[in-house]
Chains A and B, each alone.
Chain A
C-alpha cells in the first residue's frame, strides 16, 4: 500500500459527460501528479500541483482541469468526454523540494466512456 488513495476505482460514463476523479496523497506529501495510462499512448504525465499551486503541465487536454485543495487532496475534472478518453488515470505524490523526489502511485481510476 503506497498510502495514496484514489476514488472511484471504476467509472463508466457516456460521451459528452463530465466526471471528477479524486486523489489523496501520502501523509505529508505536498506534490501531486496526474498521469494517464492508455494502450496506445502508454503512461503520460498530465499535470502537477505543489502545495496548492499548479507546477507543471504535460499533455493535458483543454477539456481536462485539475486543482489541489488546502488539505492537499486533488481532483481531476474531465469534461466533454470522448471515447478516446477511456484509460487508467493515476495519481502520484511526492514529498517535495529537499524532502524526497520519489513518486508513489495510487491504485488508479479506470474510466470507460461509452
Chain B
C-alpha cells in the first residue's frame, strides 16, 4: 500500500540556519503531496501542497518540490526562526479521488534555538 517515510528527528538548528526535512513516498497512483505542521498543543495546519510532478509548493518561506523520479517531497527553508519549532508531517493522498484519507509520515520534530 501507499506509504510515506520521513527523516527521523529531532532536528536541532540555530536561528537563521538552513532547514531540510526529507520525505519520500510510495504510491501506486499519482498522489497529491502535503506538508502539515503541528505546534505544541495544537492541531495540524496545512503548510503547503503539490498536486503533480515538478509542482513547487510554498508558504511562509517553506518550499517543497514534487519529484516523481525520486518519489520525494523534501521540505526546505532558507532561514529558520525560533517560531518554526514544531512537528512537521509529510502526507499523501491519491489524486483524482473523490476524497481520500491522508497517509502520514511519522513526523519530524524541529527545535530552533536563538
Contact = CB atoms under 8 A, between A and B. Distances in A.
A and B pair up: yes
A24 B60 CA distance: 28
Interface residues of A, number: 26
Interface in A30-80: 31, 33, 35, 42-43, 45, 48, 50, 55-56, 58
Nearest to B91: A43
Interface in A91-114: 92, 94, 96-97, 101-108
Nearest to B104: A43
Nearest to A46: B101
B37 to A, nearest CB: 11
Contacts of B101: 33, 45, 48, 56, 58
A17 interface: no
A101 B46 contact: no
A90 B36 CA distance: 14
A107 B38 CA distance: 10
A107 B98 contact: no
B44 A31 contact: no
Nearest to B44: A105
Interface of B: 32, 34, 36, 42-46, 49, 89, 93, 95, 97-107
